Structure 1
Amino acid sequence: MSLTLTDLPQQSRAWARLMGACLLVLVLAFALLAPLVFPADPLRQSLGQILAAPDAASPLGYDHLGRSLTARLASALRLSLAIAAAAVLSGAILGVAAGVLAAWRGGWLDRALSLIADAFLALPGLLLVLIVSAIVPVTAFAFWIGLTLVLWIEFFRLTRATVSRLLAAPAIEASLLLGFGPIHVFRRHLWPELAPMLLTLGAFGAATAVMMIAALGFVSVGVRPPRPELGLMMVEMLPYYREAPMALLVPVAATFLTLLGLNLVAGGRRA
């Protein structure tokens, strides 16, 4: 069966989405199963294994304090992915609710919510997360709040623009004239249109969250040692890149594969 030119981009998107999903499955499998297959305390130091080569207990080797890089990488991935997933979920709920409300009600409420979104958008994302981190003592909780405040804006803007356009559709006008409530209209007419775009935006948002967490760790203002985190692991191993280049490559490769998988999943979907 021959393919037309219009089929090729669609097949490319499908392959990109599949490759991204496979990468994410591999990253998640390592993060969740590594502690079961290679049980080790990511905080336990062993001076006899400083920068030691990989062995059966730690296939990725050991860091400058003799800690298992396998255990630390799995723990760091679980932390970053958990915070990113929580931030995307809360940001999506907040943004979609505010976007639907702004588009449905209009008037002063729409202007007020849009003004709030523009005010948050004026602040750089990393700065907003840093401000929240300075106020909230628990780092993971602070990251969740800060990233939620960063991510909800795009969900709000996308939802508001889409719902504003859809509310003028004849099907929705007919449903409202027949007396159907907002919940029915949202579930029957709005959500099917919003869902694909929100999934794409959610994947991009998760990639942004993982990148921000790693960036803050890389400049030593994120997760505090000895707790493992991807950016912090890069900083810790950077002075030893000549003696143990693989130890530095481990968190770099893990971050790259995670971001690549999320971006392929997002870019492989048609918005």
Structure 2
Amino acid sequence: MKEFIRTHTAFSLYSALVLLIVIIAIFSPWLTPHDAFASDLGNALKAPSETHWFGTDKLGRDVLSRIIYGTGLSLFMAFTIVCLVAIIGTIVGSIAGYFGGVVEMVLMRICDIMISFPGIVLAIAIAGIMGGSVGNTILALTIVGWAKYARLVRSLVIKVRQEDYIAAAIMSGGTSSVILRRHILPNSMPLVVVTASMDLGIMMLEVAGLSFLGFGAQPPTPEWGLMLNEGRQYLQLAPWLMMFPGAAILLVVAIFNVWSDSLRDILDPRQK
């Protein structure tokens, strides 16, 4: 373990920061100094102080508490979306790459249709039709995000399928499901994992973007993008309402991005 930390110092440091964010996200309801939902109109729009380090919003709610509470929601939504798009894309890409023919053509044309639309624009349209909510945000971003993984996995499966050990497995009587599960998918997973880790930060930005536009989490949910939207009208009077949630988004996304880059360097040294 010590040797690994010395060899991969940057990855170890970034992993520690990611672990800290995950711990904050898991225990966020118990880490907030104040009730993230409690209103106190007598303390509305108070500047940062010893009592409220990040100030209060228009309803007198503690901004720091809402940012900490929002960590859990933002990370949960991003992680759920990335897992769903990776699983769906992997299944579709594996089927298309392994069986080929008409199956591949139909699935890849569907992928082409999905990729041809700007992802965030299509997500806004879907979320707008279904209505703004956490569940609909997850569903909208999942619908527009799986096609990239499908095309990635398809290309990997086509490459692996040409290996000699796959031909040997077929000749020995291995079924398609067994070959996919034991031989093809394990060889495709490292790149899928790296891609998924790199998408965590992107998904957090897109979740915040949808909430900022009113198509994501709805009041009084303490979500970072929604907090930016609520603080927008008080930019001159209470700039901390946008400054601190924006800083939280920037910091967390940057940490996940540098962590995913270092993870890629470990799993695929050729990318260094």
TM-score (norm 1): 0.85
Alpha-carbon distance, 1:270 to partner: 3.1
| 2:23 counterpart (13, 29, 38) | 29
Q: Aligned runs of 1:1-271 on 2, under 5 Å?
A: 14-38=8-32, 40-54=34-48, 58-137=52-131, 139-270=133-264
Using CA pairs under 8 Å that are at least 6 residues apart, name the structure with larger relative contact order, 1 or 2: 1
In structure 2, give the amino acid aligned to 1:103. Answer: G
Identity %, equivalent residues: 28
- Are 2:32 and 2:69, in contact at CA under 8 Å, matched by a contact in 1? no
What is the CA–CA distance in structure 2 between the aligned matches of 1:137 and 1:220, rounded to whole Å? Answer: 9
Give the deviation of 1:165 after TM superposition.
Answer: 0.5
Paired AA for residue 81 in structure 1: L
Structure-2 separation of matches of 1:25 and 1:15: 15
CA distance, structure 2, for counterparts of residue 229 and residue 69 of structure 1: 11
Residue 106 of structure 1: CA displacement?
A: 0.5
SS at match of 2:264: coil
Residue 214 of structure 2 aligns with an amino acid whose one-letter code is S
Give, in angstroms, the shift of residue 23 of structure 1: 2.7
Please tell me whether the aligned partners of residues 88 and 146 of structure 2 are also in contact (alpha carbons under 8 angstroms): yes
CA deviation vs aligned residue, 1:99-152 (integer Å, no higher than 9, x gap): 110011101110110000000111111122122213324611111111111221
Unaligned runs of 5+ in 2: 266-272
Of stretches 145-154 and 49-58 in structure 1, the one that deviates more from structure 2 is 49-58
- Between 196-205 and 152-161, report the one with greater CA deviation: 196-205
Structure 2 residue matching 1:186: 3-state secondary structure: helix
Whether the 8 Å contact between 1:79 and 1:229 is mirrored in structure 2 is yes
CA contact (8 A) 1:95 1:153 kept: yes
Is 163-172 or 128-137 further displaced after alignment?
128-137
For residues 209-245 of structure 1, what are the alpha-carbon distances to aligned partners after superposition, in whole Å with 9 as ceiling and x for unaligned? 2111111223334323232221221232244445544
Aligned partners of 2:215 and 2:19: how far apart in 1? 29
Q: For residues 60 and 26 of structure 1, do their structure 2 counterparts lie closer, same or farther at Cα, with a shift above 3 Å needed? A: farther
Residue identity matched to 1:265: W
SS in 1 for 2:263: coil
**Structure 1 residues 25, 58: CA separation in 2 closer, same or farther (over 3 Å shift)?**
farther
How many Å separate the matches in 2 of 1:113 and 1:44? 49
Assess, with a 3 A threshold, how the Cα gap between structure 1 residues 224 and 270 changes in structure 2: closer, same or farther.
closer
Q: Judge conservation of contact 2:25–2:75 (CA < 8 Å) in 1.
A: no
Q: CA deviation at 1:97?
A: 0.7
Partner of 2:268: none
The number of residues matched between the two structures is: 262
Aligned-pair distance for 1:154? 1.4
Instruction: Answer with 78-87 or 237-246: which moved more.
Output: 237-246
Query: Greater CA deviation, 45-54 or 95-104?
Result: 45-54
Aligned CA distance change for structure 1 residues 146 and 56 (closer, same or farther; 3 Å) = same
CA distance in 2, matches of 1:226, 1:98: 38
Distance 1:40 1:84, change over 3 A: same
- What secondary structure is seen at the aligned counterpart in 2 of 1:269? helix
Give the whole-Å Cα distance in 1 for the aligned partners of 2:136 and 2:61: 27
* CA-CA distance at 1:173 after TM superposition: 1.0
- Preserved CA contact (<8 Å) 2:97 2:158: yes
> What's the TM-score once normalised by structure 2's chain length?
0.85
**Residue 32 and residue 59 in structure 1: after superposition, are their counterparts in 2 closer, same or farther (change >3 A)?**
farther
What's the offset of the Cα at 1:91?
1.1
